[in-house]
Amino acid sequence: MKGEKDDVQISLLSKLKNYSREISSLKGQIKKGPRVTVNYKNVIVCSSFEELEAIKTDELVFVENGISSGLFKLISKSNSTNLDRGVYFKSSITNFIWKRVFDGDEILVDWYRHSISDDITDEIKRAMRTAAFLKKYVSLPAGVFKISRPIIVPMGLLGVYGKGKLATILIPRSGLEVTFHIKYSGNYSDFTIGEYRPLNNRINSNGILIEGELASEAVNNSIVLSTFENIRILGLNGYGFKIENVYDSYFKSISVELCGNSDEYAFSVNSINGETTNMSTWDQLQVEQSDKKAIYIGPDVFSCVFSNIHSERTSDSKDIFSYVLGGNRCLYESIRIHNRTEKSSLRISGYNTTFINFGVESPNTLLLEGVNGSDLNFINSYLPFSELSTVRNQIGNIYFNSGTFRKGINNNQNLHFEYGLFK
Q: Is the pLDDT score of 225 beyond 70? A: yes
pLDDT digits (tens, 9 = 90+) for 400-412: 999 998 876 665 6
Contact (Cβ atoms closer than 8 angstroms) between residue 88 and residue 72 = no
How high does pLDDT run on average in the chain?
84
Neighbour count for residue 230 (Cβ, 10 Å):
18
How far is the C-alpha of 50 from the C-alpha of 91, rounded, in Å? 9
Q: Is the pLDDT score of 3 beyond 60? A: no
pLDDT at 419: 66
* First-residue to last-residue Cα distance in the chain: 80
Kindly give the residue spans of alpha helices, DSSP state H, lying in 16-55. 20-25, 49-53
Range with lowest mean pLDDT among 12-26, 41-55, 237-251, 405-419 = 12-26
Secondary structure class of 128 (helix, strand, coil)? helix
- Reference 299, options 269, 276, 328; nearest CA is 328
Q: Which residues partner with 268 through β-bridges?
A: 242, 296
Provide the percentage of residues in the chain whose pLDDT is more than 70.
Answer: 83
pLDDT digits (tens, 9 = 90+) for 355-413: 999 999 888 888 899 988 899 999 999 999 888 888 877 888 899 999 998 876 665 66
**Cβ neighbours for 13, distance < 8 A, ≥ 6 positions apart:** none
Query: How many H-runs (helices) and E-runs (strands) does the chain carry?
Result: 4, 34
pLDDT at 343: 64
**Cβ neighbours for 393, distance < 8 A, ≥ 6 positions apart:** none
More confident: 97 or 116: 97
pLDDT digits (tens, 9 = 90+) for 27-85: 333 333 333 444 445 788 888 888 888 888 878 899 988 888 889 988 887 656 556 77
pLDDT digits (tens, 9 = 90+) for 166-218: 999 999 999 999 999 999 999 999 999 999 999 999 999 999 999 986 443 44
